[in-house]
């Protein structure tokens, strides 16, 4: 998606995309991270808390009604107002009957130049989860989570066929020439590796377009993609235009991949205790 500062425009664009995906046969549809607004985390501004909404609330109601009408499951990414002073970056799952069947709160919260999310979001407290929908079992993670093998593994262990990553990632314009290609390559590589290591499909859903100051800001690089359990990219979007990607997900492929590459079978769960330490480097 290309997002604007008008929540109604963004909701309309999202719904148009969902309808287009359903028309092409999609049964589960995922929207980008925080699709209802511009990416407001480029600055620390208390006024932006007015963008938050409760769950259930207006967006879940609208997405649920559309899910029921189209008989699809929808993953939506929202700025959740949980209580006064407690806000989350949250993914919701609306099933094909319109019911809200899942909530995931982003666990890894970045604090980097123009990605000042720690100012806005409380870290998730619901753990890593998967949700049953009419069309299959899915896992949801969000953006910065996509760099963490632990997050993908713990979600995959709950049995989803697909890991969905609603995302808002882009270039700092001053870095694009030198680092742009390597950044996109790293972004795709880490997620394709999650698919391979866990024997699941992965769908990464980004936004496009420049947001923020003309000579600074963020240029969101799109390149949304869907890959299979072997890391093969099944569909990939443009870097600068909105798009609807549709690919077939076959649970039998997950079964076959895990039979031939039994990474989950051969895990040494008796030896992984130190993973909970911040560092094991000796001083």
List the catalytic residue out of 106, 117, 219, 227.
106
Q: How far is CA 236 from each of CA 5, 142, 242, 273, rounded to the nearest angstrom? A: 26, 19, 12, 37
Q: Is 143 a catalytic residue?
A: yes
* Cis peptide bond prior to 114, omega within 30° of 0: no
> Does the annotation count 106 as an active-site position?
yes
Q: Is 117 a catalytic residue?
A: no
Choosing from 27, 143, 211, 227, which is the catalytic residue? 143
Work out the end-to-end distance of the chain between its first and last CA atoms, rounded to an integer number of angstroms. Answer: 47
3, 27, 30, 33: which is the annotated catalytic residue? 33
Helix then strand count (H, E) for the chain reads 5, 15
User: b/e for 145-166, b at 16 or more Cβ within 10 A?
Assistant: bbebeebbbbbbeeebbbbbbb
Distances (CA, A) of 263 to 117, 151, 163, 273: 34, 16, 17, 18
Q: C-alpha 263: how far from its chain's center?
A: 24
Q: CB within 8 A of 19, min separation 6: which ones?
A: 66, 70
Please answer whether residues 28 and 72 qualify as being in contact, where contact means their C-beta atoms are separated by less than 8 angstroms: yes
Residues with catalytic roles: 33, 106, 143
């Amino acid at each position: 998606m290309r997002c604007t500062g008008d929540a109604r425009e963004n909701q309309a664009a999202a719904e148009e995309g969902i309808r287009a995906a359903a028309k092409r046969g999609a049964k589960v549809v995922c929207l980008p991270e925080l699709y209802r607004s511009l990416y407001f985390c480029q600055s620390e501004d208390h006024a932006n808390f007015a963008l938050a909404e409760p769950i259930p609330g207006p967006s879940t109601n609208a997405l649920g009604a559309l899910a029921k009408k189209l008989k699809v499951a929808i993953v939506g990414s929202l700025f959740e107002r949980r209580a006064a002073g407690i806000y989350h970056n949250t993914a919701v799952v609306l099933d094909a009957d319109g019911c809200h069947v899942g909530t995931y709160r982003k666990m890894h919260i970045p604090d980097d130049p123009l990605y000042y999310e720690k100012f806005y979001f409380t870290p998730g407290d619901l753990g890593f989860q998967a949700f049953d929908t009419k069309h299959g079992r899915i896992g949801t993670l969000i953006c910065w989570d996509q760099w963490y093998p632990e997050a993908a593994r713990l979600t995959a262990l709950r049995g989803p066929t697909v890991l969905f990553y609603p995302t808002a990632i882009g270039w700092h314009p001053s870095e694009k020439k030198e680092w742009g290609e390597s950044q996109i390559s790293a972004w795709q590589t880490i997620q394709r590796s999650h698919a391979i290591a866990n024997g699941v499909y992965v769908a990464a859903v980004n936004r496009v377009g420049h947001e923020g100051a003309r000579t600074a800001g963020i240029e969101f690089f799109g390149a949304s993609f869907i890959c299979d359990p072997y890391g093969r990219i099944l569909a990939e979007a443009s870097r600068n235009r909105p798009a609807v990607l549709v690919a077939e997900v076959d649970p039998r492929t997950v079964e076959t991949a895990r039979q031939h590459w039994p990474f989950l079978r051969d895990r040494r769960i008796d030896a992984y205790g130190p993973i909970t330490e911040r560092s094991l480097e000796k001083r």
